Amino acid sequence: MRVPIIAGNWKMHKTAGEAVDLVRELAGLVAGIRGVEIAVCPPFTVLAAVAEQLQALGGGIALGAQNMYWENEGAFTGEIAPGMLRDTGCRYVILGHSERRQYFGETDTQVNKKVHAALAHGLTPIVCVGERLEEREAGTTEDVVRGQVQGSLAGLTGRQAAGLVVAYEPVWAIGTGRTASASDAQQVNGFIRELLRGMFGEEASRAVRIQYGGSVKPDNAAELMAQPDIDGALVGGASLQAGSFAGIIKNT
């Protein structure tokens, strides 16, 4: 059975003080909840402070980053290496988020290099895919998602693929308050699992966790999480407050 994972993508929010307060409050609210993995993905500048706080709280909440570069080290001003994330206590790294693709021109080829580098350093990638509104309206959702999954995950072994987290995030649902219906989300998540089965085999495709992301809130989480191929959520806005993030976790 796959353990669902609820991950909070804090994007470009929170100072160190705010971040530490948030995880402390969150830990209190989710204490005792079993059967769900919880991760927070703060900005780079507060990873160390959050890591220290999470450790002090007992380690029930995992740490992730929002991006990284694929090289080990070198003259890459402004970039962060996978080993640096590991050193800071990260277990997860979000890769290929639609905001990275849209505003910073990230391609599937680059995401693929990052996925390989993350795995080589013992990080679990949360690989984001999803169509834009015009692509959905043109009926090309599956083509777009197929291209992103095949491009981003090229060259992995079945064993590597089995440990991945994939996040299906329709771009039109991110930060808009417009959530995909549970059946639409299930349809694409099921399609992704089928694709993974073709690429990596039955066992890997059954093991990989496929999240849904896009305006997930406490009141829509239960219906989404009840779908057979939705194994958790990647949460943006609602992860910025302990109460709403905990509400999603409770309803998973």
Residues lying near ligand PEP in the complex (CB under 6 A) are found at 9, 169, 174-175, 213-216, 234-238
**9 known member of a binding site:** yes
What secondary structure does DSSP assign to 46-101, as a single string? Answer: GHHHHHHHHHHTTS-SEEEES---SSSSSS-TT---HHHHHHHT--EEEES-HHHH
CA dihedral 179, 225, 111, 13 (to 10 degrees): 60
Q: To the nearest whole angstrom, how small is the minimum distance from the Cβ of residue 211 to ligand PEP?
A: 9
* CB closer to ligand PEP, 158 vs 247: 247
Task: Please say if 97 is a catalytic residue.
Answer: yes
**244 known member of a binding site:** no
* CB closer to ligand PEP, 30 vs 238: 238
SS3 content of the chain, % helix, strand, coil (to 5): 50, 15, 35
Residue 167: other Cβ atoms inside 10 A: 29
Q: To the nearest whole angstrom, how small is the minimum distance from the Cβ of residue 237 to ligand PEP?
A: 3
* CB closer to ligand PEP, 97 vs 116: 97
Q: To the nearest whole angstrom, how small is the minimum distance from the Cβ of residue 217 to ligand PEP?
A: 8
Which of these, 188, 173, 175, 174, lies nearest to 141 by C-alpha position? 188
Selected catalytic residue, list 37, 97, 99, 121? 97
Q: To the nearest whole angstrom, how small is the minimum distance from the Cβ of residue 94 to ligand PEP?
A: 8
Q: Which residue has the tokens 């991006």?
A: 67
The DSSP H or E segment spanning 224 is helix 218-225
**10 known member of a binding site:** yes
Selected catalytic residue, list 99, 106, 135, 169? 169
**189 known member of a binding site:** no
**215 known member of a binding site:** yes
Which of these, 64, 68, 57, lies nearest to 39 by C-alpha position? 64
Q: Which residues are annotated as a binding site?
A: 9-11, 175, 215, 236-237
Q: Which residues are annotated as a binding site for substrate?
A: 9-11, 175, 215, 236-237
Q: Which residues are catalytic?
A: 97, 169
